[in-house]
Amino acid sequence: MEIQIVSKDAKLLLSRTEVKARIAFQGATPTRKDVIKALAKALGAKEDLIILRKIETAFGSQSGKVLGYVYNDRKALETLEHESVLKKHGAGKGTKADEGDAKTAEKTGGDE
């Protein structure tokens, strides 16, 4: 998979950079994890601070457009992104470790 950064727009108040890129690939559309790895390598950013908003491909096309956000720190990412987006990317609340903590809290805090 090849990736070409089209634009980077720093959003200082949101502690993130909006990145638009084009991807070229063979076969099926690459997974979110593959695109995140390629973006991290191209931008020199940490993979866990990148959120993909969308991957657009035309039917039968071997290329597409990507919109992603690269956050400056983990706190900004968890504050600004919705829980479902974090879950989709395997971070934040909703992961198996957090579900176990929530069940423990329900057992101990529900009898008061």
User: Residue 81: exposed, middle, or buried by beta-carbon count in 10 A (0-12, 13-18, 19+)?
Assistant: buried
Distance, CA of 45 to CA of 73 (rounded, Å): 11
Tokens matching residue 11: 């959003």
Q: Which residue has the tokens 């790895």?
A: 37
Task: Please report the pLDDT score of residue 95 as a whole number.
Answer: 44
Q: Which residue has the tokens 């690269």?
A: 70
Task: Please report the pLDDT score of residue 80 as a whole number.
Answer: 85
Looking at domain 2-107, its CATH superfamily turns out to be RRM (RNA recognition motif) domain (3.30.70.330)
Digits of tens for pLDDT over the chain (112 positions)? 999 999 999 999 999 999 999 999 998 899 999 999 999 999 999 999 999 999 999 888 999 999 999 999 999 888 888 888 888 887 655 444 444 444 444 444 444 4
Helix (H) or strand (E) holding 43: helix 32-43
Against a cut of 0.85, is the pTM above it? no
